[in-house]
């Protein structure tokens, strides 16, 4: 057998192994994230009985992500590759371990600070993995891998949400935190096993390039692509809606069953995650994302699918929070999850097929917008929940991305870019 054939076969095996390790790491990471999201949100609501405290905790977590998005470009240019990703998983595990070694009397005080640290680490991990994925698996495997990432991420959400409620009900919050720590350590191990095949792919611009220069490059690129600009604007509006339903989860869970709010919340998140899993699978089955080479037609299909999926997602959440029967609400959460899964796969895959020099600043900007929307949304919606019913609050916040999509659609049509 020729040496070139052996080399190609060996590289194919390494890529396959890399994809497996990355998918495993993302699964464990999202499984752990949803364990602590359900656990800490319900725990802080249990301790304080205040939606404002839930909002403050989540806002601290999101503010950490906002800070991370500003620093991510410099960090991953100075420390590209897998080492920084491993360190971020270890930081998340160490952060949660503080809840096991401190007295419960101080938990209400320290959880918002832990939320900030988790927010920093979560966002940096997401930006680092998304922006450098090409360097681990090559450009031809992005669509397939992103779809599987969303699929396994959704499975992790289902298992994490269900496990959290069950473990809290049967054992304790401490048991959830311990399992959480093991999950992050497992994710760190998987990332450490990845082999860096295309290191040149992460050197997207000079190390000395400043944040301001990144933004200038990104602005120039977005000026040539109004549709990508519209997708970013819709993402910002969508995160306001997402913030409101995250604050609203423990509230509506308590509305349906005050005595078992944690379990009801876990069911809600699990059903939503099952919908998201279905959406990710549909995006592959329906050919919404490319399997190999990306053409202009593929890009337009991803963009169209993103717009439609966001409308499905927001409509599903509006309907879910306006139901009086749990079963009907869960059906609506499932529909919202389908839209969420499709929109995430299409958006991330489309963003990863931008020019190398703007990919890292683009993902930093995406994270910045998402965290800005989450931070503002959580603070404003937590106050709104004090005075308005959950259905009204969600209708207002999730109605915004639908309105933005309609406005962007007519704007793009006017510019003759089409969809």
Read out DSSP for 157-201? HHHHHHHHHHHHHHS-HHHHHHHHHHHHHHHHHHHHT---S-GGG
- By three-state DSSP, how is residue 324 classified? coil
Do the domain assignments include residue 35?
A: yes
What is the tally of structural domains in the chain?
1
What the block records as the tokens of 254 is: 């308590």
Q: What would the pLDDT profile of 178-210 be if each residue is shown by its tens digit? A: 888 999 999 999 988 887 655 555 444 444 455
Ramachandran region of residue 293, left (φ > 0), alpha (ψ -120 to 50) or beta? beta
Q: Is 297 exposed, middle or buried (0-12, 13-18, 19+ CB in 10 A)?
A: exposed
Do the domain assignments include residue 1?
A: no
- By three-state DSSP, how is residue 61 classified? helix
What are the start-end ranges of the H helices in 193-225?
211-223
Q: What would the pLDDT profile of 47-77 be if each residue is shown by its tens digit? A: 777 777 777 787 788 778 778 877 777 777 7
Do the domain assignments include residue 3?
A: no
Using alpha carbons only, give the angle 130, 133, 134 rounded to the nearest 5 degrees: 130
Least confident of 241-250, 327-336, 363-372: 363-372
Q: What would the pLDDT profile of 106-158 be if each residue is shown by its tens digit? A: 888 888 888 889 888 888 888 788 777 777 777 677 767 777 777 777 677 66
Q: Tell me what the mean pLDDT of segment 375-380 comes to.
A: 79
Q: What is the pLDDT of residue 200?
A: 54
Higher pLDDT, 35 or 161: 35
Which of 303-318 are b and which e, b meaning 16 or more Cβ less than 10 Å from the residue's Cβ? bebbbbbbbbbbbbbb
Q: Torsion over CA of 135, 141, 145 and 146, rounded to 10 degrees?
A: 80
Q: What is the pLDDT of residue 399?
A: 93
Do the domain assignments include residue 334?
A: yes
Do the domain assignments include residue 274?
A: yes
Q: What is the pLDDT of residue 248?
A: 86
Question: Are the CB atoms for 50 and 108 separated by under 8 Å?
Answer: no
* Residues spanned by the domain of 40: 11-414
Q: CATH number of the domain that 356 lies in?
A: 1.20.1250.20
Do the domain assignments include residue 2?
A: no
Do the domain assignments include residue 5?
A: no
Residues 6+ apart with CB under 8 A from 12: none
Question: Are the CB atoms for 339 and 310 separated by under 8 Å?
Answer: yes
Do the domain assignments include residue 6?
A: no
- 255 pLDDT higher than 90: no
Q: What would the pLDDT profile of 319-344 be if each residue is shown by its tens digit? A: 999 988 889 999 999 999 999 888 88
Residues 6+ apart with CB under 8 A from 340: 272, 275, 276, 279, 309, 313
Distances (CA, A) of 163 to 37, 244, 258, 262, 280: 12, 24, 19, 11, 22
Q: What is the pLDDT of residue 386?
A: 83
pTM: 0.68
Q: What is the pLDDT of residue 188?
A: 92
Nearest to 36 by CA among 132, 176, 158, 130: 176
CA-CA distance, 321 to 303, in Å (whole number)?
A: 28
């Amino acid at each position: 057998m020729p040496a070139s054939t052996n080399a190609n076969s060996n590289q194919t095996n390494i890529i396959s192994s890399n994809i497996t390790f990355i998918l495993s790491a993302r699964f464990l990471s999202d499984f752990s994230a949803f364990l602590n999201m359900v656990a800490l949100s319900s725990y802080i609501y249990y301790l304080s009985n205040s939606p404002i405290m839930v909002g403050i905790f989540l806002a601290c977590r999101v503010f950490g992500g906002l800070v991370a998005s500003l620093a991510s470009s410099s960090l991953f240019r100075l420390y590209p590759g897998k080492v920084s990703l491993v360190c971020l998983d270890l930081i998340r595990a160490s952060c949660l371990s503080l809840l096991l070694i401190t007295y419960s009397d101080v938990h209400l005080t320290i959880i918002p600070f832990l939320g900030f640290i988790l927010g920093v680490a979560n966002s940096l991990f997401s930006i680092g993995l998304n922006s450098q994925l090409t360097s681990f698996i090559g450009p031809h495997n992005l669509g397939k891998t992103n779809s599987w990432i969303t699929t396994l991420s959704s499975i992790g959400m289902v298992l994490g949400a269900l496990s959290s409620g069950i473990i809290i009900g049967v054992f304790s919050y401490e048991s959830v935190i311990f399992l959480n720590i093991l999950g992050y350590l497992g994710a760190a191990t998987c990332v450490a096993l990845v082999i860096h095949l295309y290191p040149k792919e992460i050197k997207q611009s000079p190390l000395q390039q400043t944040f301001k220069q990144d933004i200038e490059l990104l602005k120039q690129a977005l000026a040539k692509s109004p549709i990508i600009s519209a997708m970013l604007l819709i993402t910002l509006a969508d995160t306001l809606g997402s913030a409101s339903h995250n604050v609203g989860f423990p509230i509506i869970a308590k509305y349906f069953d005050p005595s078992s709010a944690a379990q009801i919340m876990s069911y809600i998140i699990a059903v939503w995650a099952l919908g998201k899993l279905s959406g990710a699978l549909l995006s592959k089955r329906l050919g919404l994302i490319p399997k190999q080479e990306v053409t202009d037609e593929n890009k337009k299909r991803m963009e169209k699918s993103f717009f439609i999926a966001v409308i499905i997602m927001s409509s599903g959440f509006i309907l879910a929070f306006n139901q009086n029967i749990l079963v009907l609400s869960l059906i609506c959460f499932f529909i919202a999850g389908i839209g969420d899964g499709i929109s995430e796969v299409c958006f991330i895959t489309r963003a990863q097929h931008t020019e190398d020099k703007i990919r890292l600043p683009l993902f930093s900007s995406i994270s910045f917008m998402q965290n800005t929307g989450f931070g503002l949304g959580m603070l404003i919606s937590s106050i709104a929940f004090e005075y308005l019913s959950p259905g009204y609050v969600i209708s207002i916040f999730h109605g915004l991305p639908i309105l933005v999509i309609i406005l962007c659609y007519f704007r793009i049509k006017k510019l003759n870019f089409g969809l």
